[in-house]
Amino acid sequence: MNFFEAENITKHYAGHTALDGVSIEVKEQSIFGLLGPNGAGKTTFIRIINQIIGPDQGEIRIRGEKLHPNHIANIGYLPEERGLYKKMKVGEQAMYLARLKGLSKIDAHLRLKEWFQKFEIENWWNKKVEELSKGMAQKVQFIVTVVHEPSLLIFDEPFSGFDPINAELLKQEILQLSKKGSTILFSTHNMSSVEELCDNIALINQAKVILKGEMNSIKQEYKTNSYQLKIRDLQKEITEILPENFNIKKLSDINDCNSFKVDLPDNVSSNELLQKVMPHGQISSFEEILPTMNEIFIRKVTEAGHAK
């Protein structure tokens, strides 16, 4: 069942179109990646979901219901431009934001204490935000995004500005929340950062969705029949073993262990490649190379450019 549907969302600003007929479906409990370069319209789209701005056309439905102010309590949003009141105490501030999401005083306090314990930051409660380091402030920021246990979580460029340790922590927390039943929407231009997390994606470029679907099937669709081959004790030059129409690229050569990237012609299967190499050395690994989202994206964008 689709948890979230956007149908034909269009938004014009004076002089330019931010979104042009964008339709997206997100399944319940999935992790969805909204990918695209800066200025593609991702943030505008997310702001529409959060009801910060309204679309000119189109409709958004959550669980089949048209978007309604009550849905705000069900959405957790970590914006790209994020921060906290510098002069306010951490605890007070977290309480304030949690209560704005509709939590009662008691609930907010209880849950915040729980999260603070989990992140081992209870002693920050009475500190002012300006006393915290950037990484510490981001932990607080994450807590206030999720404290009201929303069924839809939206992260706009979540990993930008997080140090690697906090980024990993964040990733693990997000995966856990997903397991607990939250539907998650990532928006990022840094595609490699969310590739391993997303089940489904949509690529947005210049206000339009240019590609969407399940991540694996997209990769399958766009794969180029390339393989990575690691072989030890190679007795002959690889170019002598393989026919000329196999495009070979040497990746590394360490301690007799050679690593190659081989692009096969369309009608040749991977087994044929293995049969040809096997007699000449010891195969240590063999793996299909799937295109990264980045590569697919660049391909799609240039294709679109050519089509024009």
Q: Match 């460029």 to its residue by tokens.
A: 157
Q: State the virtual CA torsion across 216, 222, 224, 228 in degrees, nearest 10.
A: -30
Strands ordered across the beta sheet of 257-263: 247-254, 257-263, 226-232, 282-289
Q: How far is CA 128 from CA 85, 86, 97, 125, in A?
A: 9, 7, 15, 8
Q: Which is nearer to other proteins, 96 or 119 (CB)?
A: 96
Name, in order, each residue with C-beta under 8 angstroms of 60's C-beta and a sequence gap of 6 or more. Answer: 4, 5, 6, 7, 9, 48, 49, 66, 67
Site for other proteins contains 87 (CB under 8 A): yes
Stretch touching other proteins by CB under 8 A, among 47-55, 112-120, 195-203, 246-254: 47-55
Q: Name which position in 3, 4, 32, 77 contacts other proteins (CB under 8 A).
A: 77
By CB under 8 A, is residue 82 in contact with other proteins? yes
Cβ atoms of 186 and 196 within 8 Å: the answer is no
Provide the 8-state DSSP code for 89: B
Stretch that binds other proteins, among 23-31, 74-82, 176-184, 248-256 (CB under 8 A): 74-82
Contact residue for other proteins among 1, 38, 81, 133 (CB under 8 A):
81
**Candidate residues 100, 110, 251, 283; the one interacting with other proteins per rule CB under 8 A:** 100
Number of residues that bind other proteins (CB under 8 A): 27
CA 22 to chain centroid, in Å, comes to 18
**Between 87 and 308, whose beta carbon lies closer to other proteins?**
87
By the rule CB under 8 A, 200 interacts with other proteins: no
CB 143 within 8 A of CB 94: yes
Report, in Å, the least distance between residue 269 CB and other proteins.
51
Least distance in Å: CB of 119 to other proteins?
Answer: 18
Q: What's the min distance (Å) between Cβ of 33 and other proteins?
A: 20
What is the contact surface with other proteins in residues (CB under 8 A)?
13-14, 47, 50-53, 72, 75, 77, 79, 81-88, 96-97, 99-102, 141, 144
